[in-house]
Structure 1
Amino acid sequence: MLWWPLHVTWLSRALALTPGISPAEETRYKGTHFVCVEGSATLPASAVNDDFCDCEDGSDEPGTAACAGATDRWFYCPNSGGTARYIYISRVGDGICDCCDGSDEWLRPDSGCRDVCKEQGRARKVRLEQRRAEMQKGILMREAALESMRAEVEEWRKTVAELDANAAPLSKEMLELEEVQRQKRAAVIKEAEQLGREADLVGQGAEKKVSEYAKWMEGGGSGNTAEQAEQVCSGSVCIQRTAVSRKELRQIKVTSGALVDFMEFVYATGSLVVGEGKGDQQEPFNLEPGEVLLELRGGQGGLLDRVQFVTSRGRESKAYGGAGGQNFSFKASEGKMIVGVTRAVGLAGKLTGIQECLFRPLTDAEKAFDEASSILEDARRQLAAKHKETAELREKIEAAAGAHAAYRALNKCGETQIGEYSYKICPFGEATQGHVRLGKWKGWASDASHTALFEGGERCFSGIVRTLRVQFECGEGYVIESVREPSQCVYEATMTHPAACDAQVLTQGDRVLTPHEAHLEL
Structure 2
Amino acid sequence: MLWWIFISPALAIPGVAPAEEARYHGQIFACQEGSTQLPASAVNDDFCDCEDGSDEPGTAACANSDRWFYCPNEGGTARYVYASRVGDGICDCCDGSDEWQYPQKCRNLCAEQGRARKARLEQRRSEMQRGIEMRKEAMASMQAEAKEAEAQVAQLEAGKAPLLQKLKDLEEIQRLKRAAVTKEAQELGRDASQYQEKEEKKVSEYAKWMEKGEAPSNSATKQDELCSGTVCISRKLAARREVKQVKVRSGALIDFIEFVYTAGEPLSVGEGKGEEQEAFDLEPGEVITELQGGQGGLLDRVQFITSRGRKSQIYGGSGGENFTFKVTEGKMIVGLDRAVGLAGKITGIHEAFFRELTEAEKAFDEATIRLEDARRSLEAQDVQLTKLRQSLEDAIGSHAAYKALKKCGEGTLGEYNYKICPFEDAKQGHVSLGRWKGWAIDAPHVGLFENGERCFSGIVRSLKVQFECGENYVVETVKEPSQCVYEATMTHPAACDPKGLDGSGEDRILGPHEAHLEL
Which TM-score band applies after superposition, normalised by the shorter structure?
0.5 to 0.7
- Letter of the 1:512 partner, please give it: R
224 and 172 in structure 1: CA distance in 2 versus 1, 3 angstrom threshold: closer
CA distance in 2, matches of 1:450, 1:237: 41
Q: Partner of 1:396 in structure 2?
A: 394
Whether the aligned pair in 2 keeps the contact of 1:135 and 1:475 (CA below 8 Å) is: yes
Q: Tell me, yes or no, if structure 1 residue 138 matches structure 2 residue 134.
A: no
Written as runs of structure 1 = structure 2, the 5 A alignment for 1:400-419 is 401-402=397-398, 406-407=401-402, 409-419=404-414
Q: Partner of 1:101 in structure 2?
A: 95
SS in 2 for 1:80: coil
The Cα of 1:246 is off from its aligned counterpart by: 4.2
1:158-204, Cα deviation, whole Å (9 max, x unpaired): 55566667677766665555455444434443444455544364585
333 and 435 in structure 1: CA distance in 2 versus 1, 3 angstrom threshold: closer
130 and 355 in structure 1: CA distance in 2 versus 1, 3 angstrom threshold: same
Whether the aligned pair in 1 keeps the contact of 2:70 and 2:78 (CA below 8 Å) is: yes
CA distance in 1, matches of 2:226, 2:316: 25
- Letter of the 1:79 partner, please give it: N
- Letter of the 1:417 partner, please give it: T
Q: Partner of 1:361 in structure 2?
A: 357
79 and 254 in structure 1: CA distance in 2 versus 1, 3 angstrom threshold: same
Whether the aligned pair in 1 keeps the contact of 2:333 and 2:349 (CA below 8 Å) is: no
CA distance in 1, matches of 2:452, 2:29: 47
138 and 361 in structure 1: CA distance in 2 versus 1, 3 angstrom threshold: same
Q: Tell me, yes or no, if structure 1 residue 478 matches structure 2 residue 473.
A: yes
Whether the aligned pair in 2 keeps the contact of 1:431 and 1:439 (CA below 8 Å) is: yes
CA distance in 2, matches of 1:518, 1:194: 84
1:183-235, Cα deviation, whole Å (9 max, x unpaired): 443444344445554436458548599xxxx99x95599997775458699xx
Whether the aligned pair in 2 keeps the contact of 1:231 and 1:240 (CA below 8 Å) is: yes
- Letter of the 1:285 partner, please give it: L
The Cα of 1:150 is off from its aligned counterpart by: 4.2
60 and 498 in structure 1: CA distance in 2 versus 1, 3 angstrom threshold: farther
Written as runs of structure 1 = structure 2, the 5 A alignment for 1:85-96 is 85-87=79-81, 95-96=89-90
- Letter of the 1:262 partner, please give it: I
Q: Which of 121, 142, 145 in structure 2 is aligned with 1:149?
A: 142
- Letter of the 1:139 partner, please give it: I
Q: Which of 276, 279, 302 in structure 2 is aligned with 1:279?
A: 276
Percent identical pairs in the alignment equals 42
The Cα of 1:340 is off from its aligned counterpart by: 3.0
SS in 1 for 2:132: helix
Q: Partner of 1:199 in structure 2?
A: 192
Whether the aligned pair in 2 keeps the contact of 1:250 and 1:286 (CA below 8 Å) is: no
Whether the aligned pair in 1 keeps the contact of 2:439 and 2:445 (CA below 8 Å) is: no
TM-score between the two structures when normalised by the length of structure 2: 0.66
Q: Partner of 2:376 in structure 1?
A: 378
Q: Which of 498, 501, 505 in structure 1 is aligned with 2:493?
A: 498
1:11-63, Cα deviation, whole Å (9 max, x unpaired): xx425777252x45555666656574xx775755847767648466x777665
Whether the aligned pair in 1 keeps the contact of 2:248 and 2:258 (CA below 8 Å) is: yes
Paired residues, what number? Answer: 490
5+ unaligned residues in a row in structure 1: which ranges? none
Q: Partner of 1:264 in structure 2?
A: 259
Q: Partner of 1:120 in structure 2?
A: 113
5+ unaligned residues in a row in structure 2: which ranges? 204-208
SS in 1 for 2:498: coil
268 and 392 in structure 1: CA distance in 2 versus 1, 3 angstrom threshold: same
TM-score between the two structures when normalised by the length of structure 1: 0.66
Whether the aligned pair in 2 keeps the contact of 1:249 and 1:339 (CA below 8 Å) is: no
CA distance in 1, matches of 2:358, 2:35: 85
409 and 169 in structure 1: CA distance in 2 versus 1, 3 angstrom threshold: same
The Cα of 1:116 is off from its aligned counterpart by: 1.2
The Cα of 1:255 is off from its aligned counterpart by: 3.3
